[in-house]
Amino acid sequence: MEVRQSDFGNGTNLFSMVNDNGVRLDVSDFGARIVNLVVPTDTGERNIVLGFESSEDYTTQDSYIGATIGRVAGRINSGRFKLDGKTYQVQTNTEAGHTLHGGAPSFEGKIWQSQIIRTEDEVSVMFTLTSPDGENGFPGNLTTSVTYSLNNQNEWTLVYQAQTDQTTLYNPTNHVYFNLTGDVETPIDGHELTVMADQFAVLNSDGTVTGEKRDVSGTSFDFRTAKSLKDCFELANGAQKDLFSGIDHPFFLSHEKGADVILQSPDGKVSVEVETDQETIVIFTANFGQDKMDMRGKTLGHHGGITFETQAAPGAIEFEDFGEIVLRPDQVYHAKTIYRLKF
C-alpha cells in the first residue's frame, strides 16, 4: 500500500492512496474532497466517482462535488435557528433565502491542513480545519478533522471528529457522486439501488423539509428491495420525485444487519455498499436538468451521478425526531461511514 502526493493547482495538493489490489483513492486538501476512486475490472480500470482534473475546475464549475460539507449539510430554513434561547441568523445563499451547506464559501472552498498516516492495515490522509467564531454567522471556534482511509479489504472509510469552544451546530457530510459505469455521460438510470429505510423526509418545493416522515411503501422511494433507478424515475405515483425530477431526499435508515445502502452497476461488475453510524442518508440523483458540466473531457448531464450523504437529517434543528446537531464545548463529535467496494 502506498500514498503519493502531487500538485492539484493553485497551491493545493492531490493525495493518491493505492492498495495492493489496485484500488486508487485520490483526495485533495482543497475542500477535503474525494477526486477519483478507481477500481480494476476485467475490462480495465474504472473511475466510479465524479470529479475534476484540477482545483480550479471545482471553483469555476461546482465546488460541492466530492467535498466535505459543513458546518451544516443541507438547508437551514431562512438561515435562522435558536440555541439556548438565543436566535442566530446565519448567511443565506439560496434563491429561496435559506442557508445551504453552511453558507458560501464554507468547508468546500478551504485549503485544509493535511497529514499522511500509514499503518500495517491501511493508508490514510487526515485533513484538519479551524472554522473561526462567527464564520458565516455560526457561533464558536470549531476545530474539525476528516480522515480518508483505504485498506486491502477494498474499503474506503471516512471518519469525522470535531470540538467547539461555544455551543454551535455541526452536521457534516461528504458530497461524493457515484457513477459505477465509469462514464460521466452515461446516466445512472440503469444502476440498481437498495436502501434499508422505511421512511423518507417530505420536502417543500424549495428543498426544505416539511417535518413529515413518510412511509416509503407504495412510493417511488421504496428501495428496500433492489430496483433500478429508472423504475423510480418513471413511476407514475411519485409526486415527491416529480418535484425535483429525481431524488433529493433524506432517508431514515433502519440499520438492519448488513449494509445500509447498496448500489450496483448496470453490468453487474461493480458495487458499493455503504455502512454508517449516522441515522440518515441524503440521496441526490444529480437532477441538473439542462445544466451541463465539462468533466474529464466529457459532458456531465442530468442524472449523471448519485450521492450518499450520511448525516443527521436536514431540519434537525427544527424537528426533534430528525436527529441531533447541537455540539457543545464538553462534547467531541464523531461519525464514521464505510464505502465497501466490490468488483
Catalytic residue numbers, as ranges = 175, 309
Q: How many residues does the chain have?
A: 343
Alpha carbons 226 and 231: distance in angstroms, whole number: 11
The answer to whether 140 and 39 have CB atoms below 8 angstroms apart is: no
* CA distances, 158 to each of 68, 80, 148, 276 (Å): 10, 29, 5, 9
The CA–CA distances, whole Å, from 29 to 33, 68, 71, 130, 270 equal 7, 10, 17, 14, 28
Q: Please state, as a whole number, how many other Cβ atoms lie within 10 Å of the Cβ of residue 78.
A: 14
**Do 27 and 19 contact (CB within 8 A), yes or no?**
no
Q: Which residues contact 318 (CB under 8 A, 6 or more apart)?
A: 77, 81, 209, 211
- Distance, CA of 55 to CA of 28 (rounded, Å): 8
The residue type at 291: D
Cβ atoms of 341 and 156 closer than 8 Å = yes
120: exposed, middle or buried (Cβ count in 10 Å: 0-12, 13-18, 19+) = exposed
How remote is the C-alpha of 84 from its chain's centroid?
A: 29
Torsion sign, CA atoms 69, 72, 75, 80: negative
- Other C-beta atoms within 10 Å of 130: how many? 13
Quote the cell numbers at residue 150: 483505504
